[in-house]
Structure 1
Amino acid sequence: MKSDSQSKWRIHLFFWILYYILEVYLDFYWSRYQFPDFKWQIRLQNTFILELGYLFVKIPLAYALLYVYEKVDLKLIFKYILCIFIVTASVLGHRFLTHYIIYPYIYGVTETLDGKHTSGFINGYVVFNSFMDLIFMIGLIFGVEITRQKNVLKEQISQLKAEKLDQELTMLKAQINPHFLFNTLNNIYGMALKKADETPDVILQLSKVMRYNIYEAAEKTISLTKDIENIKDFIQIQKIRYHQLNVSFIEDIDNPFQKISPLILIQFVENAFKHGVSESLGEAFITVDIRLKNGILTYFIENSKQKQPHKHSTKIGLKNIRRQLELLYPNHSLSVEDKNNRYSVTLTIDFYDTTSH
């Protein structure tokens, strides 16, 4: 709110400076016809003074109307009546300043209509001129303020959308870590029951993976090479458990510093193990092919699977990652192929696509 208020007054100050300069220019241009005998230096000096005097009428009028428009809680008809009263009082103030101060004390002459006939304090022509001068200013200040408010509203909506996006992504990531940990601890539990010699190595490898998930994956983006390294660590844990697992890992990255949202890619590998390898009765295999060329990532995962997998196999991870891809890379391409004995996923992300977040 404080920054919004500061921005408002900066914009309004800038408006009044520009408005004052505009009015000085117009009045100075007009004064050479109204006061042809005055030197231009005198006319310019007088114009600066009188326009400054007019601001003492126009600024209170502007903010009185803005206050009624924004703050006063009245029925519309009463707001109109109040605004008419304020404008009428301001027109009278404008006339008083013009007739009794500006002409006699600044120009040193009596106010006239056409240079010959004396003008009174209240006259249809001069009142109309005062009214139009004030209405012109009112239109400008309201245009500036309404435009400013619309821009502030757009910024607030944009900020709320960004905050909502961050909250949803945080929630999704929070779902990923327990899901991964639950699966891996189940694996370690099974190995511990069998008193497998590899159990300590798996626990050490899990510690490395969880360190990545807790600390580095907390960042919005991370280098693609670090994310790939985490995938390799995860696969290493699974290879210790599945001795007959055949893993093919192909990596071709032309830019190791390319940034990616963490924990995006590993979910497909995790699903390949949970819903593929763990359900395969024969020799299991997983193929991982990840390539980055000219900012375009192509990620291919294929795994063996049982012809009739368990009907109640959970696929929370895949649903989760689909939602993350929709939020972070809306123009991504994701295709899934489910055959009798194998399951494959192909993901394409164009990091140079300006529509991606």
Structure 2
Amino acid sequence: MKPDYQSKLRIHLLFWIFYYILEAYLEFYWSRYRFPDFTWQLRLWNTLILELGYLLVKIPLAYSLLYVYEKVSVKGIFKYLFYIFIIIVAVLGHRFLTHFIIYPYIYGVEETLDGKENSGFINGYVFFNSFMDLIFMVGLIFGVEITRQKNILKNQISQLKSEKLDQELTMLKAQINPHFLFNTLNNIYGMALKKADETPDVILQLSKVMRYNIYEAAEKTISIEKDLENIKDFVQIQKIRYHHLIVNLKENIDNPSQEISPLILIQFIENAFKHGVSESLGNSFINIKIELKKGILTYYVENSKEEKAHEYSTKIGFKNIRRQLELLYPKHHLTVKNKDDRYIVQLIIDFNDTSNA
């Protein structure tokens, strides 16, 4: 049985139970005025039996109208004629049940108007009462079903949006990983040609970083401790490549198990190497500070840069990062300062804020 059908069956079953209780209560309440000589036990028994009998008319009516509403493709006046025909048949069935079965066989009396004259099978007043009783039920069941369908549609739209965001995040991450891999492999190739002693160490560090990118980064979240370890491996690769580079990395983490989206933080450092250090002449530096205190992450990256750096490529990199942050942490605070001799980036994420969850 499909989950949607199970949900529909459960909701409709609860509806009929509560509707039956409501109608039985109202009928029992008014029966003391119509049949004052009956004991309350007899009135209660009669009420329970007759309301079950009315369900034999109301349930087919409800689902006949729902079927026409949902399945019948005829439009315009013909569809309304279907509705009218079904309601007329139901009203006649309601009257037949009331006049020929409920009153003579359950109440043991003749159906009358105000306790005087026989009401007859078809009478304007009782016919209208039957019609209103049925329409009241139809309004309730349609309200329940339409509300249920709207909730399903809302959940489907929410799921589609979530899937779309996941796909977009996956695509954004994919834009980063190959770039780093190709650049590092190109540098390893250059080191191998020079037979540099550091080549095996760079390959080992690269394997750790790529293992993280392939397996760990596939998860929606990961502990900040593992993410920080990946950052350190990445920095170590770059330090082997750039001997003149000065890197200061300070960390203060009070909760190493704090979950964070993988590959978010490292992008700022990668951007610093790509558009700052690699273009700088002379001594280059990167200062990194990562602090997590009481669920609030403060991340600071400062790097040297050449006075006439390529601003266009830098903006492209930040556009990618900003989009990911918007999707993952809508209420983050990102500050980027572009000074003459350095870039300064500060990111603040409050993990206590449920909107960033």
TM-score higher than 0.5: yes
Report the counterpart of residue 2 of structure 1 in structure 2.
2
What's the secondary structure of 2:289's corresponding residue? strand
Report the counterpart of residue 120 of structure 2 in structure 1.
120
Report Cα offsets for 1:170-224 as digits up to 9, x if no partner: 1112222111111211221221222211001100111111111111111111111
Report the counterpart of residue 189 of structure 2 in structure 1.
189
Report the counterpart of residue 332 of structure 2 in structure 1.
332
How far apart, CA to CA, are the structure 2 residues paired with 1:56 and 1:15? 15
Task: State the superposition RMSD in angstroms.
Answer: 1.5
What's the secondary structure of 1:346's corresponding residue? strand
Q: How do residues 266-345 of structure 1 correspond to structure 2 at under 5 angstroms?
A: 266-310=266-310, 313=313, 316-345=316-345
How far apart, CA to CA, are the structure 2 residues paired with 1:153 and 1:313? 42
Deviation at 1:314, TM superposition (A): 6.4
Report Cα offsets for 1:210-254 as digits up to 9, x if no partner: 111111111111111111111111111111111121111111112
Deviation at 1:116, TM superposition (A): 2.1
Deviation at 1:311, TM superposition (A): 6.7
What's the secondary structure of 1:59's corresponding residue? helix
Return the TM-score normalized by structure 1.
Answer: 0.97
Cα 1:310–1:40 shift into 2, 3 Å: closer
Cα 1:133–1:312 shift into 2, 3 Å: closer
Report the counterpart of residue 26 of structure 1 in structure 2.
26
What's the secondary structure of 1:355's corresponding residue? helix
How far apart, CA to CA, are the structure 1 residues paired with 2:148 and 2:212? 45
Q: Does 1:135 align with 2:135?
A: yes
Report the counterpart of residue 247 of structure 2 in structure 1.
247
Q: How do residues 134-283 of structure 1 correspond to structure 2 at under 5 angstroms?
A: 134-283=134-283
How far apart, CA to CA, are the structure 2 residues paired with 1:315 and 1:145? 51
Instruction: Give the conservation status (yes or no) of the 8 Å contact 1:271–1:315.
Output: no
How far apart, CA to CA, are the structure 1 residues paired with 2:351 and 2:111? 71
Instruction: Give the conservation status (yes or no) of the 8 Å contact 1:329–1:356.
Output: yes
Instruction: Give the conservation status (yes or no) of the 8 Å contact 1:176–1:317.
Output: no
Instruction: Give the conservation status (yes or no) of the 8 Å contact 1:165–1:327.
Output: yes
Instruction: Give the conservation status (yes or no) of the 8 Å contact 2:271–2:314.
Output: no
What's the secondary structure of 1:115's corresponding residue? coil
Cα 1:313–1:138 shift into 2, 3 Å: closer
Deviation at 1:73, TM superposition (A): 1.4
Cα 1:195–1:313 shift into 2, 3 Å: farther
Cα 1:88–1:304 shift into 2, 3 Å: same
Letter in 2 for 1:111: E
Report the counterpart of residue 16 of structure 1 in structure 2.
16
Letter in 2 for 1:238: Q
Report the counterpart of residue 349 of structure 2 in structure 1.
349
Deviation at 1:127, TM superposition (A): 0.5
Instruction: Give the conservation status (yes or no) of the 8 Å contact 2:244–2:283.
Output: yes
How far apart, CA to CA, are the structure 2 residues paired with 1:258 and 1:345? 22
Report Cα offsets for 1:99-126 as digits up to 9, x if no partner: 1111111111111111121111011111
Letter in 1 for 2:177: N
Q: How do residues 77-116 of structure 1 correspond to structure 2 at under 5 angstroms?
A: 77-116=77-116
Report Cα offsets for 1:106-165 as digits up to 9, x if no partner: 111111111121111011111111111111111111111111111111111111111111
Deviation at 1:269, TM superposition (A): 0.6
Letter in 2 for 1:280: S
How far apart, CA to CA, are the structure 2 residues paired with 1:260 and 1:208? 19
Cα 1:343–1:104 shift into 2, 3 Å: same
Report Cα offsets for 1:269-322 as digits up to 9, x if no partner: 111111111111111111101111121111111111111234774665433221
Letter in 2 for 1:236: Q
How far apart, CA to CA, are the structure 2 residues paired with 1:351 and 1:248? 26
Q: Give % identity.
A: 79
Return the TM-score normalized by structure 2.
Answer: 0.97
Q: How do residues 38-53 of structure 1 correspond to structure 2 at under 5 angstroms?
A: 38-53=38-53
- Segments of structure 2 that go 5 or more residues without pairing to the other structure are none
- Segments of structure 1 that go 5 or more residues without pairing to the other structure are none
How far apart, CA to CA, are the structure 1 residues paired with 2:65 and 2:196? 82
Deviation at 1:86, TM superposition (A): 0.9
Instruction: Give the conservation status (yes or no) of the 8 Å contact 2:244–2:282.
Output: no
What's the secondary structure of 2:300's corresponding residue? strand
